[in-house]
Structure 1
């Protein structure tokens, strides 16, 4: 199909076309020529069908290369000489492309995409030996530009690059969080994708400046897609990235850079909130686990978004959920005092000890003030970054909750010290209180100081009493008004225990005439040496177990009701549990229904597993901490007391607002609750059907 022009023939043709141009018939001649070319296009269409049929069978990209080369042959064969001028050539080129695009089958797009993919990643395609005459890929791109394929199928070329980037990001970055991956990905782009782009788009550049200009737009799009793909991957992994912190710091740096470039913060917030709701904020998750994840979320999102907009949007559901959990304050406080049973601390050991920061009102006169970020919601507060503890305390409206819980926990830990000479444990609690003074202020922890002083005074008083009359009783003497409420009990220790208490109380009164001991017999432990006919046991048990075994020294057989009545009418479940301790040790045995007998001699078949070893104790016999009322329990009990006042108000005045109820309750004895606490209590009463609320007015539910 190629034509050869002799020089003399070419000169004659040019002269002839010059004559036609002068007579203004060149346009008519060109139209005639183009019309003849259109009628001849079925020849090209036939070849296209042949190649595409073979492509659909073999899927060999070499067929597409050969087809493009063949189309270029037709283009060269039919194009007019360049000497005729640009107008003639442009008219031919436009008509040729229009006719060509009209006959290309839909499958050509998939074939062209396969060719582009092969050029980018030839290793992904199997080698073929069916065709040997391969057109160089640079020549192929030149042909594609001449035929108009680069412009027509630009989206196909871009999709190939995008898909290759997505695949590479997924293969190399998924689960790899320890170091930033973006620099490594950009090196890969430079070595792999950039030469491919240069071969396609920058072949005709005269110099480096022109090449940069030609590649600027498409290169920027590919870099954006690289960052967007990495950001989307990290967004899907964000929950696990937070769990893995601080080992996932590299992934957080990628997120920070990607957030600044792609503006995908809303997607990150949506994904993380959804993951939190599914995997964290449900009854099956332990409160300590939720708090740990919340602290990690704070640290991670501060790295990703220093202004705090993302953290505010993500943290709000977690904070509301934690506020509804009854043991949230206890978990935070346990971490503050280094509770041994609390596991890893919520606070970083390297974090400086600073006072609790309260939410600040914006100071617009501050020279360093900056406006809120544009994507911040109406409720967002642009506070300065605070320490983790301040953020945890801010879950609640007041830090008083934490101070009260600190008092309860300190009381439990101090009362759990059974050895009066254990100075180390008391000193440890004193060090904790000194640190907490820095955080909460000295005024808030004055009660804790009194409790620590009581421990020292108790040891001194006990030493004096022992010097006057030696006793095996070593009580912890506390000031009733400065300690949290202790769970009361009707337990009365019988026999020798009561005599020991009375003797100690007498010596105490002699030493402190203006004070009187009030025993709390259900707290503490009793060390016993039990001598039976064939064995001796030494055990340490709670007072109720000691009271029951003391009764068996009076007679060998007791019924359950008799035992309960003899020790002060304790509840039945506690009595059964206490008796099971001795039954497990082989000291007593149930005989008949609710009747127990002392075993002076061990029954045959009894083993050490039955509890006959000395100093053996049932695992559940001694509680880990004394039964001190928590702040929430004490508050609930106080509100139940004041319910009678509220009920009387609503009976006499029919309906009252919450503010009015709160104002009137201030005249009730010992009422010191905040209006928020009263609101929570009234809501609980409404759920129980005791009251109703209409337009902000509370009434009794009749």
Structure 2
């Protein structure tokens, strides 16, 4: 039994509730009206199957019912009962979802042979499912309208609608299988503006997406579809297209095609781009970033070929530069280019000239992409180290400087004449001084690249090696000139003086002056006593070492030399001529019994055929004895010239006969002209000169190892420093010792070198 106090409290509460429900009407008439209104509202809101017809209600009756429930504070209870009934009836929605998704999941296996058809059909199944869910959503939605007139639920604001929407969406998200994501992605992709002209958008479908909350739930998936469209379009339109700017065209495509489509998910209700401007304020820059990133990735993957195609690919480089400002992928560019260089460029199969040409293109290309030079500094280091280890790098660089390469192009024609700069400390008082870029390395300032020529020269620590190689190359070019025109070489030397200084190229000036003086002296000698001989007279101490190979000319040719030497001595009493008989060329006309042969051959070949005027048959040994100091290789080459022309015939081993009458197999009518032979370079290269000098120092090394036994390389280096003229590094000494080991002169064990006994 309850206490009297509790009984009184319960009775008071009951009376208060009764008054609220009865509204102080007589008897229980008010309670009956409230009950009828509750029953009417519950029936109006009750979730039904789509096939079950909804009863027609008068607007004023429903308005009065909901108003009464609101006044009696029962409206919230009615809505709670509605949500509970919806939970009980949601199996109807689940059955529809399962049916549509089963058809979607099974259909691909039924249409395996018709790919395009089944993909379109799959997306249409998902579209049908979405429209079906919208039907359920609208059928069960507690609308605030009745027969098209405003209803009574506005007193609750959006609470009822929001509660219903959350419950409905929570259910459909819980029953949608994982395969719905791929189907929804295909459906979104089918709405993209891929065709031209693009079909009008299906706004009813997008309104359904918004009603079901699919836009918010699958926003990342929608974005990925758009990202894939951008990536596909960039690859299809820009891959391999380097001769024109593509970034602005991509942005125009985004503005005209993609952004209007973005209004559907991100700016619902907007009919123009101006109306959608606020909604797309954060979306547009995000996709512009992706355009730049995709194009940057594409150009990064193509960067090696873009550099190969420079300067035709300069527009692609400017696009890449703009993309790198927008997307910070500088490190990816460096890694990609270094990897491509290692795989396609820096290997023994690549010619040094090709490596240098690619390096020059890399310098010019990366100057466009990154003017401060940080990217070039990071990319160039492996190339520079690889070139430094190649023996012919210096010669190839010098050939490129003066246009002695295959295409005849000269770097000094493309670059302004700037002086060669050494590494100096930074001048912080310079008003144009700038801090190092944030991604610069610790040695960037000291190794900051300048112009192309300075960058190539800076591969080595000193410019002296280039000057020496330049002297060798200039000597070869000057000795090859036959028309007396030295203006190109003179111009190159004048420009290179700015680069390396006048003192460094003083020897080159002497060589140029020798060529001019030589022509003047020859003209004087010819005026005193005409001669068929036109020598080039050079200063022995100022020219690089010439290739050895002197031999004794036959008497007739030797007498011509002696006559010329006497006239020269008369003109220059304080000087005498030392003939280098193995160099130069001789124009001959041979009159045989049945033919005449005109040929321009080497002095060795001319001396050989002169000897055959004395007798018709010579052996190789007899010829070598006559000409003296002539090696077998040069003799063989001289003989082969006349054998190829059908003048001589080889009989037996090292025996040759003069053919006064041509044999039938090689008989030719009239006059025969022989092509000018390709001679070996007359001047020793820097490597050849260094090799000969190291052979001189071999006597010192051999004496050390004989007297002291086994020695380490650094000990040999320190002792050689006392030898006159020795200026080699320990690396060069190591290479020489390794060559001696291959020849069997020395052996090495545990770093100790000794003579091979």
| Structure 2 length-normalised TM | 0.82
**2:15 paired residue number:** none
TM-superposition CA deviations, 1:117-167 (whole Å, max 9, x none): 22223749999xxxxxxx972232222122111111112211211111112
**1:552 paired residue number:** 612
TM-superposition CA deviations, 1:344-397 (whole Å, max 9, x none): 425273532222233443333434333322222334336665221111111222
Aligned equivalents of 2:464, 2:571: Cα separation in 1: 37
**2:176 paired residue number:** 104
Aligned equivalents of 2:571, 2:647: Cα separation in 1: 40
SS in 2 for 1:295: helix
**2:433 paired residue number:** 369
Aligned equivalents of 2:272, 2:558: Cα separation in 1: 105
- Is 2:153 the partner of 1:89? no
Aligned equivalents of 1:450, 1:553: Cα separation in 2: 41
**1:155 paired residue number:** 220
TM-superposition CA deviations, 1:428-457 (whole Å, max 9, x none): 322322222222211011111111222233
Q: 1:11 to 1:545 in 2, by over 3 A?
A: same
Moved more, 41-50 or 222-231: 41-50
Q: CA deviation at 1:265?
A: 1.7
Please show how residues 122-133 of structure 1 align to structure 2 within 5 Å.
123=195
Q: CA deviation at 1:303?
A: 0.7
Moved more, 680-689 or 11-20: 680-689
**1:131 paired residue number:** none
Please show how residues 458-477 of structure 1 align to structure 2 within 5 Å.
458-477=518-537
Q: 1:374 to 1:559 in 2, by over 3 A?
A: same
Aligned equivalents of 2:609, 2:194: Cα separation in 1: 87
- Is 2:99 the partner of 1:50? yes
**1:195 paired residue number:** 260
Aligned equivalents of 1:122, 1:417: Cα separation in 2: 65
Moved more, 366-375 or 232-241: 366-375
SS in 2 for 1:596: strand
Conserved 8 A contact 2:594-2:661: yes
Match of 1:393 among 457, 461, 467: 457
Conserved 8 A contact 2:702-2:755: no
Match of 2:134 among 72, 95, 112: 72
Q: CA deviation at 1:515?
A: 2.9
Select the structure of larger CA radius of gyration. 2
Q: 1:652 to 1:366 in 2, by over 3 A?
A: farther
- Is 2:383 the partner of 1:334? no
- Is 2:700 the partner of 1:645? yes
Conserved 8 A contact 2:403-2:411: no
Q: 1:348 to 1:337 in 2, by over 3 A?
A: closer
Match of 1:243 among 283, 308, 311: 308
Q: CA deviation at 1:593?
A: 2.3
Q: 1:48 to 1:457 in 2, by over 3 A?
A: same
Aligned equivalents of 1:386, 1:36: Cα separation in 2: 80
Conserved 8 A contact 2:292-2:323: yes
TM-superposition CA deviations, 1:528-569 (whole Å, max 9, x none): 232322333232210111111111112111112222222214
SS in 1 for 2:590: strand
Aligned equivalents of 1:504, 1:354: Cα separation in 2: 46
Conserved 8 A contact 1:118-1:124: no
Conserved 8 A contact 1:335-1:342: no
Please show how residues 436-585 of structure 1 align to structure 2 within 5 Å.
436-585=496-645
SS in 2 for 1:423: coil
Aligned equivalents of 1:700, 1:457: Cα separation in 2: 52
Q: 1:344 to 1:669 in 2, by over 3 A?
A: same
| Structure 2: 5+ residue stretches without partners | 1-49, 108-117, 145-152
Aligned equivalents of 2:567, 2:274: Cα separation in 1: 101
Aligned equivalents of 2:175, 2:197: Cα separation in 1: 28
**1:217 paired residue number:** 282
Conserved 8 A contact 1:545-1:579: yes
SS in 2 for 1:523: coil
Match of 1:184 among 231, 249, 256: 249
**1:26 paired residue number:** 76
Aligned equivalents of 2:178, 2:255: Cα separation in 1: 33
Conserved 8 A contact 2:590-2:597: yes
Conserved 8 A contact 1:295-1:346: no
TM-superposition CA deviations, 1:257-300 (whole Å, max 9, x none): 11122111222222222222233223333322222221111111
Conserved 8 A contact 1:72-1:143: yes
Conserved 8 A contact 1:473-1:501: yes
TM-superposition CA deviations, 1:316-339 (whole Å, max 9, x none): 222222223322222222232233
Q: 1:515 to 1:435 in 2, by over 3 A?
A: same
Aligned equivalents of 1:458, 1:51: Cα separation in 2: 100
Aligned equivalents of 2:88, 2:373: Cα separation in 1: 68
Conserved 8 A contact 1:372-1:382: no
Q: 1:335 to 1:437 in 2, by over 3 A?
A: same
Match of 1:423 among 467, 475, 484: 484
Aligned equivalents of 2:281, 2:516: Cα separation in 1: 78
Aligned equivalents of 1:657, 1:576: Cα separation in 2: 41
- Is 2:710 the partner of 1:627? no
| Structure 1 length-normalised TM | 0.88
Q: 1:120 to 1:574 in 2, by over 3 A?
A: same
TM-superposition CA deviations, 1:462-508 (whole Å, max 9, x none): 34444444432222221111110011114211221222233333443
Conserved 8 A contact 1:307-1:382: no
Moved more, 439-448 or 470-479: 470-479
SS in 2 for 1:669: coil
| Structure 1: 5+ residue stretches without partners | 128-134
Aligned equivalents of 1:318, 1:175: Cα separation in 2: 25
SS in 2 for 1:527: strand
Conserved 8 A contact 1:415-1:626: no
Task: Tell which has more relative contact order, 1 or 2 (C-alpha 8 A, sep 6+).
Answer: 1
Q: CA deviation at 1:646?
A: 4.3
Aligned equivalents of 1:528, 1:327: Cα separation in 2: 37
Conserved 8 A contact 1:541-1:622: no
CA RMSD across the alignment: 3.2
SS in 2 for 1:155: helix
**1:615 paired residue number:** 673
Q: CA deviation at 1:582?
A: 0.7
SS in 1 for 2:649: strand
Match of 1:40 among 72, 89, 109: 89
